[in-house]
Amino acid sequence: MNKTLSDFIEDFSIALFKIKNKKKSDLKAFQECSSIEYNDIQSVYKDCQLFESCSIYNPPAFVGSRIRHKVQTSIFKMDSMFKPVPIFQKPYDSLPENKQIYFEEIKNLRSDAKEKTCLVYLHGFSESGYTPEKILIFKELIAKMPEMEVLAVQLPYHMMRSPKNQPYSGAYFLDSYPIVTIESFRQAVNDVSQVLSYAKEKYKNVIVAGFSLGGFVVSFLGTCDDRADLYIIGQAGVHIPKTLINLSICPGLSEKKDNLIKQGVDFESLFEPIELSNYQSILPSEKVISIAGLYDKLIAFEDVEMLRCFFNGVYNINYSAGHRGIIFEMKKIKMRIMKIIDSMATQGYTNL
| pLDDT tens digits for range 274-311 | 999 999 999 999 999 999 999 999 999 999 999 999 99
Q: Could you tell me which of 224, 263, 261, 235 has the C-alpha nearest to residue 319? A: 235
Across the range 159-183, mean pLDDT stands at 92
pLDDT of residue 27: 74
pLDDT of residue 46: 80
Range in 15-24, 201-210, 274-283 the model is least confident about: 15-24
pLDDT of residue 11: 86
List of E strands, the chain:
61-68, 71-79, 100-108, 117-122, 148-153, 205-211, 230-234, 288-293, 315-319
Q: Is the pLDDT of residue 29 over 80?
A: no
* Domain boundaries, given as residue ranges, for the chain: 3-351
> What is d(CA 171, CA 161) in angstroms, rounded to the nearest whole number?
11
DSSP 172-202: HHHSS-HHHHHHHHHHHHHHHHHHHHHHHHH
Across the range 107-127, mean pLDDT stands at 93
pLDDT of residue 21: 80
pLDDT of residue 142: 93
Q: How confident is the model at residue 158 (pLDDT cuts 50, 70, 90)?
A: very high
Q: Which residue has the higher pLDDT, 265 or 295?
A: 295
pLDDT of residue 221: 98
Report the predicted TM-score, pTM, of the whole model to 2 decimal places: 0.94
pLDDT of residue 247: 83
Q: Could you tell me which of 221, 196, 176 has the C-alpha nearest to residue 28? A: 176
> What is d(CA 17, CA 13) in angstroms, rounded to the nearest whole number?
6
List of E strands, 84-176:
100-108, 117-122, 148-153
Range in 80-84, 261-265, 290-294 the model is least confident about: 261-265
- β-strand 230-234 against 288-293: which pairing, if any? parallel
> What is d(CA 270, CA 253) in angstroms, rounded to the nearest whole number?
13
Architecture per CATH, 3-351:
3-Layer(aba) Sandwich (3.40)
Q: Is the pLDDT of residue 73 over 70?
A: yes
Q: How confident is the model at residue 39 (pLDDT cuts 50, 70, 90)?
A: low
> What is d(CA 1, CA 250) in angstroms, rounded to the nearest whole number?
27
Cβ-count burial of 156 within 10 angstroms (0-12 exposed, 13-18 middle, 19+ buried)?
buried
pLDDT of residue 349: 61
- How high is the mean pLDDT of the chain? 91
> What is d(CA 171, CA 163) in angstroms, rounded to the nearest whole number?
10
Element (H, E) at 339: helix 326-347
User: How would you classify residue 96: left for phi > 0, otherwise alpha for psi between -120 and 50, otherwise beta?
Assistant: alpha
